Amino acid sequence: MKKPKIVILGAGYGGLMTAVKLQKQVGVNEADIVLVNKNDYHYETTWLHEASAGTLHHDRVRYEIRDVIDRHKVEFIQGTVEEIKLEEKRVILDNGDVMYDYLVVALGAEPETFGIKGLKEFAFSIVNVNSARQLREHIEYQFATYNTEAEKREERLAIVVGGAGFTGIEFLGELANRVPELCREYDVDYHKVKVICVEAAPMVLPGFDPELVNYAVAQLEKKGIEFMIGTPIKECTPEGIIVGKGEDEVEEIKAGTVVWAAGVRGSSVIEKSGFEAMRGRIKVEPDLRAPGQEDVFIVGDCALIINEEINRPYPPTAQIAMQEGEVVARNLAALIRNKQDLETFTPDIKGTVCSLGEDDAIGVAFGKKMVGGKASFMKKMIDNRSLYMIGGASLVLKKGKFNVL
Amino acid sequence: MKKPKIVILGAGYGGLMTAVKLQKQVGVNEADIVLVNKNDYHYETTWLHEASAGTLHHDRVRYEIRDVIDRHKVEFIQGTVEEIKLEEKRVILDNGDVMYDYLVVALGAEPETFGIKGLKEFAFSIVNVNSARQLREHIEYQFATYNTEAEKREERLAIVVGGAGFTGIEFLGELANRVPELCREYDVDYHKVKVICVEAAPMVLPGFDPELVNYAVAQLEKKGIEFMIGTPIKECTPEGIIVGKGEDEVEEIKAGTVVWAAGVRGSSVIEKSGFEAMRGRIKVEPDLRAPGQEDVFIVGDCALIINEEINRPYPPTAQIAMQEGEVVARNLAALIRNKQDLETFTPDIKGTVCSLGEDDAIGVAFGKKMVGGKASFMKKMIDNRSLYMIGGASLVLKKGKFNVL
């Protein structure tokens, strides 16, 4: 009998968790396991705001995949997925094809710009190590250039962050700490720097407790961040952004750096491969398979799961992606052993903490609201837990976040 | 009797040396001494190639002026000199006017682009802390951007250095060490990076011993630097440069970074103020005064002194500028004491060493040719000597270069 071949696309939180759980649960004689990823490293998506601001080096937010997979059990292929041919059970990569018996689609997210003109061309994003590193260097270059020009242009020093959601707020928290460092490095007067958060929705951090949100806004404002809430970005240009003001009016905000942190969508490979999806997210079955597909599981940013309590989708978080990976690994083990009774996935939200920089945060964990140093400590514990769940204690020791006393 | 007022314009090697020598030689009751400089810091011009490549932080190549001047004796004004009104004995600054009885013009150099189209707009230069820092960040940004683009453009990673003179070669030496670091930092394949030196003259390092020059070229070529000698740059564009090939042909070299290191001229304030000069350099009298000016001394890059032996001007070096500063200080002390017999300046060239990176160099010192580690050690001694002569042992300890064993 031929061994079934399990192919996992993507080594983000969901895909990598699937791989490391599978390698424990499935014997080498039971199945071939293949992990496909664009890079030879995994990165902590939830830490990218730090690498983007320059407060944490990008090598701290990534680790090599071969350090956490068992290469006797999991074959790793470095390649970019271009399309999934469902009928042929084949995955087209930029550098070859891979056939599968079972597939796990964990291809992650892309920025969603909602058709707003110029965002794709002129705004930076916080989506992977490459984009984070480029954003960090772009900001540095703007600061470095400021003093070289005979006519000083203060707009060079202006940073617009589009979006007051999780990523936007966490990035602003890091920027608030980073700007004084940049000012020292490039001999720039701190008062000439502007950091503006522009958000179309009428609120900051929708879904968060209002008391915590007020704390977050007050803390960031104290550090000089300006908020323009209920203000849609109409266009992004090489000079900055154009925002809507009231009914018909618009206003230009000049800025050397525009960051789009207001939306992500699932991988565009999803639609390209013929899945029925909403912005790259597939409404999965309770066992995390794609509707009508017996052998294709979806995890992470490409999976859409409805929170029945409020009849709205769960936000795609690292926490949920990893829990999905665990369930998918068990369901795959069951399938290759010809058990048809698959486990149903239910997210177990242990807590949500939004960082406001190095030593401040807001959040809810174990049912308790918390702010400041306590919340910040909890955030670091959550970050370390992600490492622990995939790579164990040794990965925490290597890449973990510890308060330096 | 009114105390005479001595105004020194510029705190480079020549100006700062004049100031620190004057403060020792002239009593507070004898003269008022004013030092004017654009920045509140002095920088080591001869170390800027390191800050530009990113091999030495720019804070290591500068120190605060107030750390080396005696503020009881020398008044410091931070301002940019716009023009000298010789007839009125007045200096126009961007932020005020200063009157003088005696003037020392030590305004340094500017890049000379010889009218080559596009160089001013699109090429970077190694002339001060601001430009060095911008160049460093520009190169980093090019490397950071490379991996973010769907279609990789290898020309982003190409660096053209225009000029195989002292600055060009020393910068190439640093780049050769820096590129492997940049490749690691930005996940770039080393073989995709090109560093090309383009020089119009038929030789590298004119004036240097041919045996040493051959050593330098071989060492740099071994590290991957390409040389295009006898090749004039015709134009610089946002995409790279256009060079002349043979009689009428041209060739485009695409490069994300173009550095112009092929020429400097004295400050443009010189011509603006009505001095007779050649590219901002005034052919000074033997006592370092400007021709026809009893009360104006010229030192450093703005002073032109002929080497009688070969009937050509001495190159404007830090070594000569500091020696000029010492003579000018003594001549000013004589003048305010009404002695009309001024000292004649003769350069005393102790040696010339051209760095080829961290641990390699070529040079002649005390009449001996040397290469490699020995020459590199000598170069660091020369760099430390500049610090010592202006700020004494404490400045050497603070900013000096020591081999870390």
Rounded to whole angstroms, the Cα distance separating A90 from A101 reads 9
pLDDT at A281: 97
**CATH code of the region B119-260:** 3.50.50.60
Going by C-beta distance under 8 Å and a sequence separation of 6 or more, which residues neighbour residue A322? A13, A14, A17, A386, A389, A390
Mean pLDDT of A370-386: 93
- Percent above pLDDT 70 for chain A: 99
**Do B140 and A138 lie within an 8 Å CB cutoff?**
no
- Quick one: DSSP state of residue B152? -
Residues A93-123: tens digit of each pLDDT: 999 999 999 999 999 999 999 999 999 999 9
pLDDT at B366: 83
Contact B165, B206 (CB under 8 A): yes
Give me the interface pTM, i.e. the ipTM.
0.88
Rounded to whole angstroms, the Cα distance separating A403 from A392 reads 20
**Do A137 and B140 lie within an 8 Å CB cutoff?**
yes
Which of A44, A50, A170, A326 does the annotation list as catalytic?
A170
A chain contacts of residue B138, beta-carbon cutoff 8 Å: 141, 144
How many other C-beta atoms are found inside a 10 Å radius of the C-beta of residue B193?
20
Please determine, for residue A135, whether its predicted confidence score (pLDDT) is greater than 80. yes
The angle at the Cα of B121, spanning B119 to B127, to the nearest 5 degrees, equals 70
In 3D, which of B375, B346, B340, B349 has the Cα closest to residue B361? B375
Segment holding A203, helix H or strand E? none
Please determine, for residue A60, whether its predicted confidence score (pLDDT) is greater than 50. yes
B chain contacts of residue A145, beta-carbon cutoff 8 Å: 134, 137
Please determine, for residue A405, whether its predicted confidence score (pLDDT) is greater than 80. no
pLDDT at A340: 84
Please determine, for residue A251, whether its predicted confidence score (pLDDT) is greater than 60. yes
B331 against A206, higher pLDDT:
B331
Scan for tokens 């003048």, then name that residue: B335
Mean pLDDT of B383-389: 92
Please determine, for residue B142, whether its predicted confidence score (pLDDT) is greater than 80. yes
Rounded to whole angstroms, the Cα distance separating B78 from A168 reads 40
**Do A134 and B141 lie within an 8 Å CB cutoff?**
yes
Partner A contacted by B183 (CB < 8 A): no
**CATH class name, domain B5-111+264-349:** alpha beta
Residues B72-92: tens digit of each pLDDT: 999 999 999 999 999 999 999
Tell me which residue in B133, B136, B141 faces A138 most closely, judged by beta carbons. B141
Query: Phi and psi at residue A148, in whole multiples of 5°?
Result: -85, -15
**How far off is chain A from B147, nearest CA to CA, in Å?**
6
Contact B185, B147 (CB under 8 A): no
Q: Nearest residue on chain B to A128, judged by CA atoms?
A: B148
pLDDT at A403: 65
Residues B150-199: tens digit of each pLDDT: 899 999 999 999 999 999 999 999 999 999 999 999 999 999 999 999 99
Please determine, for residue A404, whether its predicted confidence score (pLDDT) is greater than 60. no
Q: Where are the alpha helices (DSSP H) in A112-264?
A: 119-122, 129-146, 166-185, 210-222
B chain contacts of residue A130, beta-carbon cutoff 8 Å: 144, 147-148, 187
Query: What number of C-beta contacts closer than 8 Å exist between A and B?
Result: 44
pLDDT at A366: 83
pLDDT at B207: 85
Partner B contacted by A25 (CB < 8 A): no
pLDDT at A1: 65
Q: Are B5-111+264-349 and B119-260 the same fold in CATH? A: yes
Domain locations in chain A as residue ranges: 5-111+264-348, 119-258, 350-405
Residues A20-47: tens digit of each pLDDT: 999 999 999 999 999 999 999 999 999 9
Q: pLDDT band for position A263 (50/70/90)?
A: confident
Query: What's the residue count for chain A?
Result: 405
How many other C-beta atoms are found inside a 10 Å radius of the C-beta of residue B77?
15
B chain contacts of residue A129, beta-carbon cutoff 8 Å: 187
How many other C-beta atoms are found inside a 10 Å radius of the C-beta of residue B249?
8
Please determine, for residue A311, whether its predicted confidence score (pLDDT) is greater than 50. yes
Q: pLDDT band for position B405 (50/70/90)?
A: very low
Residues A181-224: tens digit of each pLDDT: 999 999 999 999 999 999 999 999 998 999 999 999 999 999 99
Rounded to whole angstroms, the Cα distance separating B299 from B272 reads 17
Task: Name the token pair of A341.
Answer: 């009774």
Task: Name the token pair of B21.
Answer: 């020598």
Q: pLDDT band for position A248 (50/70/90)?
A: confident
Q: Are strands B5-9 and B102-105 parallel, antiparallel or unpaired?
A: parallel
Contact B330, B297 (CB under 8 A): no
pLDDT at B367: 86
Task: Name the token pair of B357.
Answer: 């990176």
Partner A contacted by B148 (CB < 8 A): yes
pLDDT at B403: 65
Please determine, for residue B1, whether its predicted confidence score (pLDDT) is greater than 70. no
Tell me which residue in B133, B141, B148 faces A186 most closely, judged by beta carbons. B133
Side-chain half-sphere CA neighbours of B72 within 13 A: 5
Burial class from Cβ neighbours inside 10 Å (0-12, 13-18, 19+) for residue A60 reads middle
Going by C-beta distance under 8 Å and a sequence separation of 6 or more, which residues neighbour residue B387? B44, B395, B396, B399, B400
CATH architecture assignment, domain A5-111+264-348: 3-Layer(bba) Sandwich (3.50)
pLDDT at B247: 82
In 3D, which of B398, B393, B397, B391 has the Cα closest to residue B17? B391
Residues B112-130: tens digit of each pLDDT: 999 999 999 999 999 999 9
Please determine, for residue B214, whether its predicted confidence score (pLDDT) is greater than 80. yes
pLDDT at A351: 86
What amino acid is encoded at A360 in this protein?
D
Rounded to whole angstroms, the Cα distance separating A240 from A290 reads 41
A chain contacts of residue B137, beta-carbon cutoff 8 Å: 137, 140-141, 144-145
Query: CA gyration radius for chain B?
Result: 22
Determine what percent of chain A falls in helix, strand and coil, rounding each to the nearest 5: 35, 30, 35
Tell me which residue in B131, B144, B187 faces A137 most closely, judged by beta carbons. B144
To test the contact with chain B by mutation, choose from A135, A146, A148 the residue with the greatest count of B C-beta atoms within 10 A, namely A148
**Do B136 and A145 lie within an 8 Å CB cutoff?**
no
pTM of the model: 0.92
Q: Nearest residue on chain A to B187, judged by CA atoms?
A: A130
Which of B110, B170, B174, B324 does the annotation list as catalytic?
B170
**CATH class name, domain A119-258:** alpha beta
Contact A59, A36 (CB under 8 A): no
Please confirm, yes or no, whether B170 is among the known catalytic residues: yes
Scan for tokens 């990176």, then name that residue: B357
